[in-house]
Amino acid sequence: MRTTLPFSYYTDPEILRREAVAVFGCHWQYVGPTALVADPTSIAPVTAAFRPVLLARDREGVLRAFLNVCRHRGAQLADSPDTRSTIQCPYHAWTYDLDGRLRAAPRSDREDAFDRASFSLLPLAVDTWGPFVFVNPDPRARPLAETLGPLPDLVAATGIDLDGLTFHSRSETRYRANWKVCCENFLECYHCQVAHPGLVEVLDVSEDGYRLEESGLLSSQYGPLKAGPGGAFDPTGEIRAGQFHFLFPNLTVNIAPGRPNLSLGPVVPDGPAGTTRTLDYFFGPDVDEDWIAGYLRWDAQVGLEDAALVERVQRGVSTAGADSGVLLRSERLIGHFDRLLQEALA
């Protein structure tokens, strides 16, 4: 059996400081749907782990991402989506083109050797997968498509047309638990039989039925359909099994059985013992609201049950004298996550 991470990893502020640089400073982060910046001259503030980000689509339709920080004194540039021909700081009116170049800085003409070209907005790598926008703070990052690995093909194999999905809603949940506790909870269904009665009505979570796979940065779980109509929600439809993917370091991707659906979002640290998890829900254009409502109720209930579990774990790993735990075969994806984390921190 493999041991867990040392329990100090879930409580130590120094570990989180290292993760901010070595993990979140160099991996792709999902930040929102392309609908946020669908039209030319649209901008949208988003968050990528520890960084405020400003998405901007220029007049030619090119999508860019910048730190949402003015180069003058560090003020946040935008705090809501908008349509603008320029980006202007509300503090001192420094004004930037949508490609990030500084256009105007009041009174700068009185400064010796003021070089506007030196004060462009700080860029981040940006790319899309279907209707999903990702950013990466590392300018040397490998391409998003390479990072995604087999994930696009696995999603396509369900029959879901990503470009045909419509953004429906966003949920945001805060947990009193370290972000890794939340990720590791997602990465195993060993607890499902005990903790998720509504989920086990729908999916086969037995050791022989529930399948686990890992490849590169991706960990995947597959739950065969167990029930027809009459369970916690109606899982009948084009999708015949559940898929639950995790892209290191913190992206969760969920496909439930039934009508075309996909939810995804990051698990983000909020201090050593706090986490925020965002989920954006997408559905096929012909999925009716009654089915969506039933699915969202089912999914929300599973989320409430998980919240209680991860906070229980956090209380335990914070106990003096407790050093580490063990992982069984059903928890092998946690071992995969832990190895990737330790490699990043090394």
> What single string gives the DSSP state of each residue in 179-220?
HHHHHHHHT--TTHHHH-HHHHHHB--STTTSEEEEETTEEE
Distance CA 210, CA 203 (A): 9
Position 151 scores a pLDDT of 98
Is the predicted pLDDT of residue 20 greater than 80, yes or no?
yes
Distance CA 198, CA 268 (A): 26
Total domain count for the chain?
2
Q: Are residues 46 and 153 in the same domain?
A: no
Q: Are residues 174 and 284 in the same domain?
A: yes
pTM for the full model?
Answer: 0.95
Q: Are residues 119 and 249 in the same domain?
A: no
Cβ-proximal residues to 170 (8 Å cutoff; 6+ apart), any chain: 265, 278, 279, 280, 281
Is the predicted pLDDT of residue 1 greater than 90, yes or no?
no
Position 124 scores a pLDDT of 96
Q: Are residues 149 and 135 in the same domain?
A: no
Domain-located, residue 23: no
At 228, the pLDDT band (50, 70, 90 cuts) reads: low
Q: Which of 140, 164, 187 is the last residue of a domain?
A: 140
Weakest mean pLDDT among 1-5, 100-104, 335-339: 1-5
Domain-located, residue 191: yes
At 93, the pLDDT band (50, 70, 90 cuts) reads: very high
Is the predicted pLDDT of residue 329 greater than 80, yes or no?
yes
Q: Are residues 83 and 187 in the same domain?
A: no
Domain-located, residue 17: no
Distance CA 50, CA 10 (A): 18
At 66, the pLDDT band (50, 70, 90 cuts) reads: very high
CATH code of the domain containing 102? 2.102.10.10
Q: Which of 140, 166, 198 is the last residue of a domain?
A: 140
Rounded (10°) CA dihedral 280, 286, 289, 295: -60
Model confidence pLDDT, tens digit, residues 279-324:
999 999 999 999 999 999 999 999 999 999 999 999 999 998 889 9
Using DSSP's 3-state secondary structure scheme, residue 26 falls into coil
Q: Are residues 135 and 225 in the same domain?
A: no
At 205, the pLDDT band (50, 70, 90 cuts) reads: very high
Position 156 scores a pLDDT of 96
Q: Which of 112, 140, 168 is the last residue of a domain?
A: 140
Residue 122 contacts residue 25 (beta carbons within 8 Å): no
Is the predicted pLDDT of residue 6 greater than 80, yes or no?
yes
Quote the domain boundaries for residue 305: 145-345
Instruction: Determine the average pLDDT of the residues in 249-254.
Output: 98
CATH code of the domain containing 332? 3.90.380.10
Q: What percent of the chain has pLDDT over 70?
A: 98
Domain-located, residue 216: yes
Is the predicted pLDDT of residue 149 greater than 80, yes or no?
yes
At residue 266's C-alpha, the angle toward residues 332 and 155, to 5°, is 70
Q: Are residues 153 and 120 in the same domain?
A: no
Within the chain, strands assigned E span 2-3, 29-33, 42-48, 51-57, 63-67, 82-83, 87-88, 95-96, 102-104, 123-129, 132-136, 166-175, 211-215, 218-224, 241-247, 251-255, 261-269, 275-283, 326-327
Position 226 scores a pLDDT of 84
Position 141 scores a pLDDT of 87
Position 320 scores a pLDDT of 83
Instruction: Determine the average pLDDT of the residues in 11-22.
Output: 97
Domain-located, residue 172: yes
Q: Are residues 117 and 162 in the same domain?
A: no
Residue 177 contacts residue 313 (beta carbons within 8 Å): yes
